[in-house]
Structure 1
Amino acid sequence: MGAVAAIGERTRVAGLALAGVVVLVAERPEEVRRAWAELPEGAELVILTPDAARAVGRELAEGARPLTVVMPP
């Protein structure tokens, strides 16, 4: 299985590192977009906070890979 990554606010994603998730802390929309563009090679699943999902926006709507999931608010 490929890598799992998480993008979003530190308070929402930091604990996922304990489960081996690649955590990309991004507090502002421009940081989220940068993290999305620089996802680790082989990332097959990306967990996004609701704010991060809004910042990525269009890429999610286009159904692009990798598979994504949005945390509940």
Structure 2
Amino acid sequence: MAALGEQVRVVGFALAGVAVLIAEDPDAVRAAWRTLPEDVELVILTPAAADALGPEPSSDTAPLTAVMPP
């Protein structure tokens, strides 16, 4: 499991053992998405991270995603 997005919104997930990928802007979000380990099955996205990725996470080989409420 991983959490991807702005530091203030994802840092707390580290306390539960979730891999945290901090990305403060759309380019950083897309770069972090491309570096996800292959064994990640779920990525929790902030709303801004989901917007930055657009339809990219919906590919057949992509991990399941969940978007945090605003």
| TM-score, scaled relative to structure 2 | 0.92
Unmatched tracts of structure 2, length 5 or more: none
Pick the structure with more strand per residue.
Answer: 1
**Paired residues, what number?**
70
Separation of aligned partners in 2, 1:61 and 1:42 = 17
* Residue aligned with 1:43, SS: coil
RMSD after superposition: 1.3
Return the letter of the residue paired with 2:23: A
Separation of aligned partners in 2, 1:14 and 1:61 = 25
Return the letter of the residue paired with 1:37: R
Unmatched tracts of structure 1, length 5 or more: none
Number of the residue aligned with 2:32:
35
Return the letter of the residue paired with 2:47: P
Give deviations 1:9-61, integer Å, cap 9, x for gaps.
00000000000000000000000000000002200000000000000102135
| TM-score, scaled relative to structure 1 | 0.89
Give percent identity, aligned residues only: 61
